[in-house]
Structure 1
Amino acid sequence: MKTNICILLTFIALLFSTGVVAQTTEILVLGSDHENKPGAEDYDMVVRKLTNFKPDMVFGEYLSPADYEALEPGTWAFQGMKKSKEFIAKTYRQTPKNLNKKIQEAQSALQKFPYLHKVRMDLTAWYIMQSDRGNADYQIYLIEHEMKKHFGKSEMAYYTQHFGNLDSLKKLRLYRPLSEYTNIYFPLLYGLKQNQIYPMDCQKYDRPWSEAWAKADSAFKVLRTKAKADTSSAEAKTYAAIIKYSNLTPEDEKHMTKSPYYNMAHPRYAELNDAWNFYGGSRFYGWAGFPDQHIKDMFAQWTLRNEGMCANVLRQAKANHAKRVIVGVGAGHRKLMEDILAKDPNVKIVSFLDLAPAAN
């Protein structure tokens, strides 16, 4: 009997190790505001709730180095990183050989002793050279919020020589005081003692998305002009209905809380977000003057981007055997990403609404 049990346990262990029985990954997609003003949210409360979730990995709306290098020059994401690269090229003069090895060695050294300030500054520059914007931003956050107060004279001089000052970093958008990363995700990572943020953005469809948006915007302006020119027209009825649908109802306001992050996790927010981002959304297909095809084209490109983002999350989460994952993303992405990720039978979607209250 004991022999049979041992054989059974060995068989079960083999199934898990070979991937026949896949591990369930809990994924929390947190809809985030890109502009987090002081006092608008209890950010410490949000961080505590996320900390209690105990994520193995935290993803941000950043491109991987490979995906950045594949971007078309002139696109928004390409140009933003290009400025940082040009700045660092002037202050560091040359890219070291074996850049990946240098980064790994610096990461290892900082894991053992986090107050190697010059090593951290070099690591930040190397991340920029490697086109890893997310982890460069994270190191800048650590320098500004946790490490700079411990700098000696030589370390401050080294910082000034290579990075200028905080205003320089703000101009390069390497430090964004109002971003969700500065206020939530980087403090979360630091508290968890995790040394990196994982990239998951997908910008392959940026150009066709921009073209679809421009056409939809032009068509909506035509609808609005007709509606205002003749308030008794069918187009006026469409326009008035869109405006009404895009506003908060008394019922919405009754269920809103003081926490924007709680509100952004609510199902109703996803409906409103579609109305705000897609000129009323699919609800108005077939209405007089509504640009159905242009809005459908927008939705198609939007879906492709979100599918790409989800694929990036799943690939890395599975490779790292993650049990719990947080995906920080603009609030407009949350519902669609949850729906896409939930199609994976080994994924369990967790809502921010369901997290236990954060203890002080």
Structure 2
Amino acid sequence: MYTIAKSLLIVIMLSAGSSFAQKVEILIVGSSHENKPGYEQYDQVINKLKNFKPDMVFGEYLSPADYKALEPGTWGYQSLNKAHEFLAKGNKENEKQLSKKIEKATRQLNKFPYYHKLRMDLAVDYIVQGDRANADYQFYVIENEMKKAFGKEEMAYYTQRFVNLDTLKKLRLYRAVSEYTNIYFPLLHALKQDKLYSMDCQKYDKPWSKAWAETDSAIKVMEKKAKSDSLSAEAKTLAAIEKYSSLTADDKKSMTASPYYNMSVPRYAELNDAWNFYGGSHFYGYAGFPDQHIKDMYVQWNLRNEGMCANVLKQVKEMKAKRVVVGVGAAHRKIMEDILSKDPDVTIVSYSKL
């Protein structure tokens, strides 16, 4: 009797454990960094993502903590530092004060979104905090949703703080053709969500840049040999890479009018890998192909994507989210799906299935 009772207790405990496991659907949207007018029907993309009903939306931005860990002189550090120097030089608020100020402003704006001066101050506070994602989001809301309702006093305050839209563009705080301005910020606004979650990882930027530069040099050596002898083995390798990296007639037939749909299918991931890795692993062993250099690139690429996925999962579990949209450069989509799908509590949803 005791044995039966003990067995039943174990079954109940296991069942409870599995029933309380946090399950999450993750939709990774391979995105273009250039989204000019007419490139895509952005409203359709936004509506599809809105209907997915995400609890969280992530972007390819660094968190404040990761931004502060960057070395001065790196591109990411210099970019936001320039904005900080222009808009918030001399701001001495400590982290605790700043966090409380941001939380209070966010609560107030959630109750009444037309506190325009408060929103302008909030955008600058995010810059001081090192939160580029949400500074950019607030500037999007200011420019695209709120500025048309400014009174004279609010417009004067805007001019005093930011001068004009061109200034924000020069500081890269407003990027008219980015995927955020055209898709993810409008999505957040439509969902009435006040935050874009950051998930980028740039810990491996230096070794990645080194591996890339060395690979590029090795490829140029192969190209030089091919140019000097069009019948050489290296020339045949280059011709094979060119063919492998090109759209086929079948590819063109299968493409739709939507670039975002096209970026969500397996074939695009194959091509993108070939474009980004000089042909990729398919050409290991080919004459003149720098196998080891390409492998070095893949190592750093994998590390970055593993870091990005870890950042997503950590925040998803903290927030107990059930549905998540991750907007990321198209080259990251497939590898991030592969990494995240290893988690038994994650279900990957394809944009192509929406």
TM range (shorter): over 0.9
1:106 alignment counterpart: 105
Please report the TM-score for the alignment, with normalisation by the length of structure 1. 0.93
Give the aligned partner of residue 45 of structure 1: 44
1:192 aligns with 2:162: no
Aligned-residue Cα RMSD (Å) equals 1.6
Alignment of 1:200-349 (within 5 A): 200-349=199-348
- Runs of 4 or more above 3 Å deviation: 11-16
Contact persistence 1:338–1:349 (CA under 8 A): yes
Q: Which amino acid aligns with 1:216?
A: T
1-structure distance, mates of 2:104, 2:295: 48
Q: CA offsets per residue over residues 67-91 of structure 1, 9 Å max, x none?
A: 000011111111111111111124x
1:150-192 deviations in Å (ceiling 9; x for gaps): 1111111111111111000000100000000000000000000
Name the CA distance, whole Å, in 2 between partners of 1:319 and 1:15.
20
CA distance in 2, matches of 1:349, 1:94: 43
* 1:256-289 deviation per Cα after TM superposition (whole angstroms, max 9, x unaligned): 0110000000100000001000000000001000
Deviations 1:267-318 (A, max 9, x none): 0000000100000000000100000011000000000000000000000001
- Unpaired segments of 5 or more residues in structure 2? 1-8
Does the Cα contact within 8 Å between 2:40 and 2:259 map onto a contact in 1? yes
The alpha-carbon deviation at position 12 of structure 1 amounts to 8.0
Relative distance call for 1:12 and 1:140 in structure 2 (3 A) is farther
Structure 2 equivalent of residue 120 of structure 1: 119
Contact 1:22–1:346 at 8 Å: present in 2 too? yes
Q: Percent sequence identity over matched residues?
A: 69
Q: What is the identity, as a one-letter code, of the residue corresponding to 2:85?
A: E
Structure 2 distance, partners of 1:51, 1:329, is 17
Q: Which whole-Å CA distance do the structure 2 matches of 1:133 and 1:354 have between them?
A: 31
- CA offset at residue 236 of structure 1? 0.5
1:35 is aligned with what amino acid? E
Shift of 1:21: 3.2
CA–CA distance in structure 2, aligned partners of residues 14 and 152 of structure 1: 59
- Partner of 1:26, secondary structure, is strand
Letter in 1 for 2:239: A
Deviations 1:297-346 (A, max 9, x none): 00000000000000000000011010000000000000000000000000
Name which of 91, 95, 103 aligns with 1:94: 91
SS at structure 2 position matched to 1:209? helix
Displacement of 1:20 in angstroms is: 7.1
Give the corresponding residue for 1:167. 166
Residues paired across the two proteins, number: 343
- The one-letter amino acid paired with 2:34 is E
Q: 2:35 touches 2:178 (CA, 8 Å); kept in 1?
A: yes
What SS is found at the alignment partner of 1:325?
A: strand
Could you tell me how far apart the structure 2 residues matched to 1:193 and 1:205 are? 34
Gaps of 5+ in 1: 1-7, 356-360
- Structure 1 Cα separation of the partners of residues 116 and 331 of structure 2: 38
1:58 partner SS: strand
- Equivalent residue for 1:77? 76
Q: Which residue of 2 aligns with 1:178?
A: 177
Q: What SS class does the counterpart of residue 195 from structure 2 fall into?
A: coil
SS in 1 for 2:214: helix
Contact 1:212 1:298 in 2 (8 A): yes
Identify the residue that residue 16 of structure 2 maps to in structure 1: 15
Q: 1:49 to 1:20 in 2, by over 3 A?
A: closer
The equivalent of 2:149 in structure 1 is 150
Residue 5 of structure 1: aligned partner: none
CA distance in 2: counterparts of 1:20 and 1:260, whole angstroms? 39
2:91–2:128 Cα contact (<8 Å) kept:
no
Q: Secondary structure at the residue paired with 2:88?
A: helix
Contact 1:63–1:132 (CA<8 Å) still a contact in 2? yes
Quote how far apart the aligned CAs of 1:15 are.
3.5
Whether contact under 8 Å (1:169, 1:175) holds in the other structure is: yes
State the shift of 1:124 in Å: 0.3
Superposition TM-score, scaled by structure 2 size: 0.94
Cα deviation, residue 23, structure 1: 2.0
Task: Give the aligned partner of residue 6 of structure 2.
Answer: none
Cα distance between partner residues in 1 of 2:324 and 2:123: 25
